[in-house]
Structures are given as C-alpha cells and as structure tokens.
Amino acid sequence: MSLSPSPLQLRVVQACTLNPLIRMLRLRADDGSDLPAYAAGAHVRVRVDLPDGVQDWRHYSLVNLVAQPGATDAPTEYLIAVRKEADGRGGSVFMHDSVAEGQLLNVEPPHNDFPLHGGAGRAVLLAGGIGVTPLVSMAAQRRALGLPVRLHYAGRSRDTMAFLPELQALLGEALQVHADAEHGAPLDITAVLDACQPSDQLYVCGPQAMLDAVLSQTRQLGWEAARVHFELFGAPLAEAGDQAFTVELAQSGQCWTVAADQTILECLIAHGCDPLFDCKRGECGVCSTVVIEGEVEHRDYFLSAAEKAQGHVMQICISRAKGARLVLDL
C-alpha cells in the first residue's frame, strides 16, 4: 500500500524540450487556484501509463528558480523536468512521448524527504545529471534567505544538462559546472569534499554510482552522518550475479519466487499483496520489514550499519536474500 494522499488534477500548460534528453512540464489547476505549498527538496508523484497497460506513479522534484522569500508558499504552478530513460520501465517515455500540452495529469501533493537544514555553515550542493532538479530549488531558497551556497553540477556534456543559463544567473561564481566530455573524466568528488569547511552541510542528488562514492568518502574522512543529506535519482541498479530466491510470508504461509531482476516489493504486489512503501529506492524506511529467517543482502540507504549487521529488518523495495530463502513477518 503506497502512502498516497488524494491526487490533484493538474493541467499541462507548457511542455518543452530543454535538450534531447530532458523535457520540462509546467502544471496548473484549471481554476488558477493556489497549489499546496512546498519547500526546496520536495517532490510530487505523477500517475503514468506503462507499456504493459499498468498505471504507476513516478517521483519528480519540484523546480523553483525564483530567489524570493515565500516563492513556494502559495504557488500557482508546479515545474518539473523529466529525463528520458529509454531502458527504463516506461514512465519517463510516457512523460516525453504521450503527455501533451492541455492534458490533465493526476499529481499527488508535494512530499519532502530531502529538506534543507539550518546551521551556520554553507550549503554545498552536489548534483549529477537530472539530480540537479531538487538542488535548483535549494539554491534559490538559500539565495532568497541570503545564506551561503555553492552548487557543483556534473554531467556528461553541457548539451544534456538542464537549467544551466538559469543557474548561472542565479548563482554566478557559486556555480561550478563539470562536463565529463570537456574534462575527460568524471567530477573529482575528493576535491569537492576537501574544499568543504567543517560547518558546511552537503546535499547530494544523482545516480547511484555518485551517491555511493560520496557516502564512502565522507565516511572515510570521518564526516558526521548528520552533515550529509542525499536523494538517489532513479531506481537503484540491479547487480551482476543477482539470483532468484524464495520469500515466505510467515503470517499467511504464502511462498513465492523473487526473480533475479525483481524486488521483493514487486513480487508481493504482483501476487496481490498490498505492502506499505513509498520511495522504492531504499531511502525512506516506509517498507521496513522484520526478517524472521534468512540472511539479507542490504542495499538500502536507510538502516544504520549496526541494524544491517543484526539482520533483523530489511527494506523490501531494494534489499535481497543472500541465500535461497527469506521468511518475513508479513
């Protein structure tokens, strides 16, 4: 059971291509009324039609470029940007190829798992690709409040990166752009971290490889976990060598096979179960499930190292069995 407030019916009043990979959509209520407020880092969920005929929901960060206090307190529109993933499940393809100006979309009100935090230090924002979208709003909010901010924006090439002119106007020298094609290598994360001050707060949004590298290095450098805030863009990657395994639900005795390319959550939903979940990325903790028997391959970003070592609970949206069988308290 997804945590789903009643959706809004919003009209696509503008749909434009920012570059070959990214499409921007501007959404408003038909009566022009104010939409629910949000703060930097928030996202909405949009209902999409998948190629197999199933309807599902996709998260899209809300983009705000207006550096004025209260700019998102009573917005009349939501702005989102969608990167087309040709090898995905089809949600982004639907948003690119099937959604047109004038169309109504079902949109859940904003939810924020990635908020800005207070403190005396600078907000250091680290974006990878389309992961820039929540950080755009963070940069605007910091500018609106007159607080220090720096954005490191990495992408494969400038022609696939969104909002570069707007960010340059907003941030000036506080924007550092890294295009792999120009530098011949990915962004040097070590250099970014070395330039941070002890009072700085780090906000990271990007692909799994970037997030894993940042978390690994900040741990090695002894950063307090409370200084590192993150959101994973896109679904976590399947890993080579993943095998099918059996999952048993202790409360009902039902037993099914989780395929090598399937999550436990997907398996349960396919068999008519209605488990709690939200992010599907192992970040929010909503799908935490007690493990009665079996060893867990933890892949989430929610549980602490100690909790993972104990093996008593797992995130069924992403983590798997190390062996052939898991028994869950469901």
pLDDT score of 143? 96
CATH topology of domain 245-328: Ubiquitin-like (UB roll) (3.10.20)
pLDDT score of 161? 96
pLDDT score of 238? 66
Task: Say which CATH architecture domain 123-232 belongs to.
Answer: 3-Layer(aba) Sandwich (3.40)
SS3 80: strand
Tokens of 189: 């994360």
Contact 23, 16 (CB under 8 A): yes
Q: What is the pLDDT of residues 68-87, one digit of tens each?
A: 999 999 999 999 999 999 88
pTM value?
0.81
The enclosing H or E element of 224 equals none
CATH fourth-level superfamily of 8-111: Translation factors (2.40.30.10)
pLDDT score of 46? 96
Phi-psi region of 234 (alpha: psi -120 to 50; beta: other; left: phi over 0): left
Alpha carbon distance 75, 144 (integer Å): 16
**Which of these, 184, 90, 160, 171, lies nearest to 135 by C-alpha position?**
171
pLDDT score of 175? 98
Instruction: Collect the ranges in the chain with pLDDT lower than 70.
Output: 1-4, 234-238
Contact 174, 147 (CB under 8 A): no
pLDDT score of 4? 61
Contact 54, 60 (CB under 8 A): no
Domain boundaries, the chain: 8-111, 123-232, 245-328
User: How is 19-76 classified by DSSP, letter by letter?
Assistant: ETTEEEEEEE-TT-PPPPP--TT-EEEEEEE-TTS-EEEEEEE------STTTTTS-S
